[in-house]
Amino acid sequence: MCARVTPVAVVLVMLSACGTSHEPLAATPEVARTSTTTTSAVTTTTTTARTTTPTAPPKKLSSEEAHEARRAACEQPKSRVYNPTSAPYAGPGPHYIDVYEVSLTNRRMQHSPIVAGETKLLPPGSTLDFDHNLIQLFACVVPVLGKRSGKVTCRFDRGVAKSRTWPLYEATYRVTVREARTGREVKVVTLRGTESPEESCPGFATDDPGTVVARSLTGDALDKALRPLLLAPA
């Protein structure tokens, strides 16, 4: 007569003493877990395989969505991020950087565009319609007016006038770099505007009262400040 064997959870035990064997049943994949069962004669540890649910690929932002994402991430950094599905800022470079000029929303403080058409910090071959999921870092550029240094006459091909004369102010530019997917602050740098008065003129004329021109930051100066983040390990 066969001795009684206490059942063991999860594992089927071969009862060779009784001349009886049981083939193991195929397990159904589920979330990974480990269970241990102990009897007077056997200790069994079983780990089941983890299965994952396929996720949809990250969405590519349209030009309008990208502009709104940039604006919101700069103006509301505590509650908004550039793109939650962007690549993480980790490992070796390159770590591609997108840049937004906060002054674009301030019509009274004018200066020449700093990053208009700028692609040096973006993925190779990028246009305005690049994949924002490739961006790892996002930089907000905020001008800070200094002392008034005179006047500048700006001439235009478009806008409400062919020319305008405005007060010219010295300016510095606070550049805050954050991880695109989390909003985590990575670096803050202050750069001085060094463009000539004429080169600091905006791209079109406005009739907004109180308009002033801030001495502009050059694209080369911005690129020089951010390039180490682009190339160096995170």
- The 10 Å Cβ neighbour count of residue 108 is 12
Specify the residue for token string 């089927």. 12
For residue 213, the surrounding DSSP H or E stretch is: strand 212-214
Q: What CA–CA distance (Å, rounded) separates 51 from 210?
A: 62
Q: Is the separation of the CB atoms in 121 and 230 below 8 Å?
A: yes
pTM over the 0.95 mark:
no
User: What confidence tens digit (pLDDT) does each residue in 173-206 have?
Assistant: 999 999 999 999 999 999 999 999 999 998 877 7
How do residues 75-120 score in pLDDT, each as one tens digit?
999 999 999 999 999 999 999 999 988 864 455 778 777 765 456 7
pLDDT band of 33, cuts 50, 70, 90: very low
